[in-house]
Amino acid sequence: MNAYYNSKKNVHDNARNIFENIWLRLKSFFCFLKESYKTLILVAIVAIASVGITSCVSIMLSDPEYNVYVPSLAVIKTIEVELYNSSNGENRLETLSWDELEPGKSINTSFYIKSVSNFIVTLNFHLTDWDPIEISGYLTISWDYNNTRIEPGEIIPVTMTLSASSSDDFIDYLVENEITRFDVVIHFIASN
């Protein structure tokens, strides 16, 4: 019976030692919290503020209202052709506008070209007078004209595409130089 009693006492003592050990560790943890509560509160505030600020910035950057846009205008100069808004040769164009261009995007503008040459011609275009000059390194202008020969007086539809670089260098250039618009002269030339 003594062996049973001693065994039961050992189990009881072991359980008591375990609970005392847990209690001492909890007591130590609560003492640590009591001594460092200011630091812990500061860490919690910084963590919450960081998450909040990061979330706000993320929402702002995903909102189109906060994106970088650049208005554009192209002055038109022509040789042996005229540009129009309509297929019947009315409303002659002196400028092209792509409205606002966003980095990394492309914008189309459509119009009609009429040959005023006395010969069957093909069309070409080239760009000059970029303002600011450096922006030309970040933009490309192309068209869907496929070198079809055009009869005198013929009117054809054309779409020009303005594409902007999505590079960080382009965005940095726009922001650092406070670019709010750009201009370019497009020369449309008929040749036979």
**Low-confidence winner among 27-36, 85-94, 112-121 (lowest mean pLDDT):** 27-36
176 to each of 28, 61, 62, 66, 153, how far by Cα in Å? 55, 18, 21, 16, 47
More confident residue, 100 or 184: 184
Q: Which residues contact 90 (CB under 8 A, 6 or more apart)?
A: 84
Could you tell me the fold of the domain covering 67-191? Answer: Ctag/Cox11 (Pfam 04442) (2.60.370)
Mean of all residue pLDDT scores within the chain: 84
Q: Identify the top-confidence range among 13-27, 38-52, 146-160.
A: 146-160
Give the confidence band of 34 by pLDDT, cuts at 50, 70, 90: confident
* Dihedral sign, Cα of residue 94, residue 179, residue 99, residue 168: positive
pLDDT at 71 over 80: no
pLDDT at 165 over 70: yes
More confident residue, 4 or 192: 192
pLDDT at 7 over 70: no
pLDDT at 43 over 60: yes
Contacts 24+ apart (CB under 8 A), 102-107: 102/67, 102/68, 102/69, 102/70, 102/164, 103/68, 103/164, 103/165, 103/166, 103/167, 103/170, 103/171, 103/174, 104/164, 104/165, 104/166, 105/163, 105/164, 106/161, 106/162, 106/163, 106/164, 107/161, 107/162
Domain extents in the chain: 1-66, 67-191
Are 93 and 111 spatial neighbours (Cβ–Cβ below 8 Å)?
yes
Q: Exposed/middle/buried for 126, CB within 10 Å: 0-12, 13-18, 19+?
A: exposed
* Dihedral sign, Cα of residue 80, residue 86, residue 88, residue 93: negative
Cα separation, 103 vs 139, whole angstroms: 9
- Position 162 scores a pLDDT of 92
Q: Exposed/middle/buried for 123, CB within 10 Å: 0-12, 13-18, 19+?
A: buried
Beta strands in 38-181 (DSSP E): 70-79, 81-84, 95-96, 100-101, 106-115, 122-131, 139-143, 155-164
